[in-house]
Amino acid sequence: MRTKITLRPLLVLILAATALLDACSRPRTESGRKDTVVPVVVREVVRKDMPVIVRAIGRVTSLATVSVKPQVTGTIFEVHFIDGQSVKKGDLLVTIDKRPFEVALEQARASQAEAKRRQTMLKIRLSAICHWAKQAALRKNRPRIM
């Protein structure tokens, strides 16, 4: 009987020996890596803004938190700031709808005009009453002729 010789173990042995001999023949650096040439590109320096990207899990808090108390009540018509924006004392934050205040102003002006008209009428009445009172007093003090 013939014995079968397999080539597979022999092939593996030859490949391993070749790899070992190849690894020993090339010079290596101190870190154990092979010396390889890396291409270097040189460019002029340019000044420009670079985006800052922070990828982290965290919480952002403001430097200061303030309460804003309006002097008048009304419907907010326009907002002049963005959430997170820094604002200073005196900055315009919101615009309140001015139509109700304009209506109230017109009503106050109408009431004022009515009050001035009534004042003028009462002055005229007062002067008439004073005139009639003087006439009546003069009639009372007249001597009667019989």
What are the two backbone dihedrals, phi and then psi, of residue 100, each rounded to the nearest 5 degrees? -65, -35
Q: Are 66 and 91 in contact (CB under 8 A)?
A: no
Q: Quote the CA–CA distance of 99 and 105 in Å, as a whole number.
A: 10
User: What does the DSSP assignment read for 92-136?
Assistant: --EEE--HHHHHHHHHHHHHHHHHHHHHHHHHHHHHHHHHHHHHH
| Whether residue 128 has pLDDT greater than 80 | yes
Q: Tokens in use for 96?
A: 């309140």
- Gyration radius from the chain CA atoms: 52
pLDDT at 34: 63
Please answer whether residues 94 and 76 qualify as being in contact, where contact means their C-beta atoms are separated by less than 8 angstroms. yes
**How many whole angstroms separate alpha carbon 20 and alpha carbon 12?**
12
pLDDT one-digit tens code per residue, 100-117: 999 999 999 999 999 999
Q: How confident is the model at residue 29 (pLDDT cuts 50, 70, 90)?
A: low
Classify 77 as helix, strand or coil.
strand
Q: Is the pTM of this model over 0.75?
A: no
Query: Which long-range contacts does 17-20 make (Cβ < 8 Å, 24+ apart)?
Result: none
Encode pLDDT of 51-91 as tens digits. Answer: 988 888 888 787 778 788 888 888 999 999 998 788 888 89
Neighbours of 15 (CB within 10 A): 10
Check residues 142 and 87 and name the one with the higher pLDDT.
87
Mean pLDDT of the chain: 84
pLDDT tens figures, 115-126: 999 999 999 999
